[in-house]
Structure 1
Amino acid sequence: MASINNLGNLLPMLRCPACGAALGLVADSLECSVCHSRDPVVDDIPRFTRDQHLASFGRQWNKYEVAHDDEDRATFQAKTGTSLSDLIGLRILDAGCGGGRYSKVCGEAGATVIGADHTAAVLKARELCAHLPSVNFVQADLKQLPFAPASFDFVFSIGVMHHDADTKSVFDAVAKMVKPGGRYSVWLYRQNQWWQEGINDALRQRTTRMAPEKLERWCEWGAWLGGLPVVNKTLNKVVNFSAHPNHENRVCDTFDWFAPQYQYHHTVEELCSWFDAAGFVNLRVLPPEKSGRMYRWVYEHNLLIGSGVNVTGEKSAN
């Protein structure tokens, strides 16, 4: 039976994804007070969806150990434009939390956090954040989140929305969760040059049909190449494989690129237009984490495959 103690902080916030009514705990399920739909609670995590086309993420986050505290804190701040000291007391939604690295960062910084992910990665996320009673998780579709609109002070999504069949529909649904005056930060894959996009599409047409075990073996080769100093500064700008200093991260990152069914790439102008249309103001285009004249030139000319477009903004109070 689900534990009301583990769900106590989360239950008052939950709403039926179908009709928006309040939910109640009945045995091992959450039942809607209006339409009476029921969704299971497994391992004390509400499960409103199954992995479906995103199953590769549930696999990778539960298999690989890729959390590194200092790196995760630095990445979070770079990709949200928000310092850790600004998180104290905020109610935060990590939209597409994966294995929970950034939910952990926020919880340790003093925020109340809900991590939502479409996949069974929420189990790994819960384990990573077990020491943080202010951090909870739900398995849910980001297009049908089980919360009332305007429930959060700060919402962020790092490297997730572009894995849906329609990136903008995910962006718009998650944007509704931000309170007036609240902040929203989104990181998406950057659209590269036409020839890079062509190579990527051709490779992924094959890799997305591979059995996960076979693809992982290929990713081990990519991780080996990523550890070679000369190769990881040249070849991986054409064919994407990770150059992370840690071997396990390189395997995971490379699998992350080649496994998902959907992967769309976007422009800064496109992402900013979505923020504008959703009623956000004071937009900031965030720079990449890395610096250096050559790196920035390659980045700004859309030649850095696997890089992102990154924008943050405030929800208009009007």
Structure 2
Amino acid sequence: MNIQLINPSDGGVLNKTPEGLTQNGLVIYPCKNGAYRIVKDDNYTENFGYQWNKFAGTQVDKSSALSISKSRFFAESQWDKEDLGGKNILEVGSGAGRFSQVVLDFTKGNLFSVDYSNAVEANYKNNGPNERFNLFQASIYEMPFAPGQFDKVFCFGVLQHTPDVELSVKTLIDMVKPGGELVVDFYPINGWWTKLNAKYIFRPYTKKLTHEKLFKKIEKNIDWLIKTSRFFSKIGIGKLTNRFLPICDIDGTLPQNLTKEQLREWCILDTFDMFSPQYDQPQKISTVIGWFNKYGMKGVSGKYVHFENCVAPVVRGTKQ
């Protein structure tokens, strides 16, 4: 592994112990429930900690008996699982560990996984302990790693939820070693109509609700919303009308082989994920490509990647 850990507050060398990360013999950042805690739970990602601890196994393939996380990881990264053996891989924004599980179960890479929320607890329950698994609760802007050490860095489903997306991209690039690769995905801007959507219309209100109150509202209304969305799709007007329904995009973002119970669970989860984040900042592929080039990446490319029933804009590049 040989990854140098540093204190993000002063750059000092950190050492791993069972009790936590130590500096000059003192525990600076404790290890709790399998994760080294660089930050506290009360930050702008509290909603993600709430949702991923509540839905810890929903999107994890080995719990759901699906393969969408595996399909998405390899489709977006384009990495060969055999080539990842012994490589140091950084995952930023791991949530409940859906992609952590894929890396640990289908490759022999060493995984360093970071999330700002206490979803790290769900991740550890799903994927720990494992000698190749290193889990940290830390900000994307203050990760406990000396720069330029990782062979592979990926950030899926996260960038749009950070306060400064350009700075987030720069920080990720800083972590990549020369010759290493970075792959990111994000919510796309498809035109002026992107924000003409229930998600953006209602979010100024919903993000102010407590997590518990928002969850109860969604759970109470999800059944009729699913039926209405499905009805509009069946009669051929779903693409026009469903964007105004306060429910996730069933046709465009969810696996199509879900049981009735799984569909309800995924809809509650993804609808909560729509309305609860503090930040939701979609981006153009060309903008993200520009940032990759600006901060020292080469061979940069961006395109829409399809996996199962879904599609996501993905940008990739290699560190110069």
TM-score class normalised by the smaller sequence: 0.7 to 0.9
- Specify the alignment match of 2:104 in structure 1: 107
C-alpha distance 27-271 of structure 1, shift in aligned 2 (>3 A): closer
Aligned AA (1:241) = C
Aligned AA (2:297) = F
- Specify the alignment match of 1:225 in structure 2: 225
Q: Distance in 2 between matches of 1:256 and 1:187?
A: 16
Q: Distance in 2 between matches of 1:242 and 1:198?
A: 14
Aligned AA (1:100) = G
What is the TM-score normalised by the length of structure 2?
0.83
- Specify the alignment match of 1:312 in structure 2: 316
Report the alpha carbon displacement of residue 155 of structure 1 after superposing the two structures with TM: 0.2
Q: Which runs of 5+ in 2 are unaligned?
A: none
Aligned AA (1:188) = F
Q: Distance in 1 between matches of 2:136 and 2:216?
A: 31
What is the TM-score normalised by the length of structure 1?
0.83
Q: Distance in 2 between matches of 1:27 and 1:90?
A: 24
- Specify the alignment match of 1:145 in structure 2: 143
Q: Distance in 1 between matches of 2:52 and 2:22?
A: 29
What are the equivalent positions in structure 2 for 1:199-238 lying under 5 Å apart? 199=197, 200-220=199-219, 221-222=221-222, 225-226=225-226, 229-231=230-232, 233-234=238-239, 235-238=241-244
Q: Which runs of 5+ in 1 are unaligned?
A: 1-8, 296-306
Deviations 1:151-182 (A, max 9, x none): 11000000112212111111111211101111
Percent identity between the two aligned chains: 27
- Structure 1 contact 223–254 (Cα < 8 Å) conserved: no
Q: Secondary structure at the match of 1:169?
A: helix
Q: Secondary structure at the match of 2:280?
A: coil
Q: Secondary structure at the match of 1:288?
A: strand
C-alpha distance 110-25 of structure 1, shift in aligned 2 (>3 A): closer
Deviations 1:48-85 (A, max 9, x none): 11231110000111111211242111011122232333
C-alpha distance 205-19 of structure 1, shift in aligned 2 (>3 A): same
- Structure 2 contact 35–136 (Cα < 8 Å) conserved: yes
Report the alpha carbon displacement of residue 26 of structure 1 after superposing the two structures with TM: 7.6
Of 6, 9, 12 in structure 2, the residue corresponding to residue 21 of structure 1 is: 12
Of 298, 305, 315 in structure 2, the residue corresponding to residue 281 of structure 1 is: 298
- Specify the alignment match of 2:91 in structure 1: 94
What are the equivalent positions in structure 2 for 1:1-318 lying under 5 Å apart? 13-24=4-15, 28-33=19-24, 38-51=28-41, 52-64=43-55, 65-66=57-58, 67-69=60-62, 70-108=67-105, 109-130=107-128, 132-199=130-197, 200-220=199-219, 221-222=221-222, 225-226=225-226, 229-231=230-232, 233-234=238-239, 235-239=241-245, 241-243=248-250, 244=254, 245=258, 246=262, 247-290=264-307, 308-316=312-320
- Structure 1 contact 62–124 (Cα < 8 Å) conserved: yes
* Higher mean C-alpha deviation, range 37-46 or range 128-137: 37-46
Q: Distance in 2 between matches of 1:187 and 1:279?
A: 18
Deviations 1:13-40 (A, max 9, x none): 3211112221146884433339x78222
- Structure 1 contact 91–153 (Cα < 8 Å) conserved: yes
Q: Distance in 2 between matches of 1:214 and 1:119?
A: 20
- Structure 1 contact 81–185 (Cα < 8 Å) conserved: no
C-alpha distance 131-37 of structure 1, shift in aligned 2 (>3 A): closer
